[in-house]
Amino acid sequence: MSTLRPLLIWAVLATLLIAPVAVAANSPLLAWRDPIYIAGGFAGIAALALLLLQPLLVAGLLPGAPRAIGRKIHLWSGLLLVVSVVLHVAGLWATSPPDVTDALLFRSPTPFAVWGVLAMWAVFGAAVLGLGRKRLALPPRIWRIAHAALVTVVVVGSVLHAVQIEGAMGSVTKLILCGAAVLALGAAFLRLRSWAAFQARTASGRRS
C-alpha cells in the first residue's frame, strides 16, 4: 500500500496535466487558427498546469519530492511559468494586437481579459519577490504574506480567466484542472502554516 499510494498520486497528477493538453490538441477549433495563435494558446495551458504543480512542490506534497527538493524545482518551474505567460501573451498579440493592447490597458469589454492581465502582473510580481528575496531584505513574515497574496491573485485570476473562455480546452478537463489548482493552493497554505507553527513551537522550546 505504501508503494501504491505514491504511484496513484503521480498517475492522477499526470492525468490532470496531460488530459487538457490532449483535448485541446484534438479540438476542431484549431483548424483555422494561425500556428502562432495555437502556440500561444498551448503556452497558456502550460501556465495553468504549472499553477497546479507550484504549490505542491513548495509545500512538499508530492511523493519523492520533499520540501528541500521541491523548493528548488519550484524556483525553476516558476521561471518556466513566467516564460509560458510571456509566450501566451506574445502569441495572442502577434495575431490580434488591438485586442491584447486593450486587455493590457484594461479597456477590453471581456471580463476574462481583465482577470488574465491581473494574473499576469501578479505572476511577474511573485517572480520578482522570489528571485529578489535576499536583495529586497524584507522581513520573512512580510515576504511570505506578500508572496502568498500575489500567488492567490495568480491562481484566482487565472482560473476566472480560463473558465470564461470558450476555446480549445475541453470544458470538463479545464474545470477539473482549475479546481485542482485551487485545491492545491489551499493544501499548500495549510501545510506551510502548520510547518511554520511547528518551527515556532520548536524555537520556543529551545529558548525555554
pLDDT tens digit at each of 208 positions of the chain: 567 888 899 999 999 999 999 999 999 988 888 999 999 999 999 999 999 999 999 998 998 888 888 889 999 999 999 999 999 999 999 999 999 999 999 998 899 999 999 999 999 999 999 888 888 888 988 999 999 999 999 999 999 999 999 888 888 999 999 999 999 999 999 988 765 554 454 555 555 5
Residue 56's CB: how many other CB atoms inside 10 A? 22
Domains assigned to the chain: 4-183 (1.20.950)
CA distance linking residue 175 with residue 194, whole number of Å: 29
Q: Report CA dihedral (41, 46, 47, 49) to the nearest 10 degrees.
A: 130
pTM listed for this prediction: 0.89
Counted residue by residue, the chain has a size of 208
Contact in structure between 82 and 124 (CB atoms under 8 Å): yes
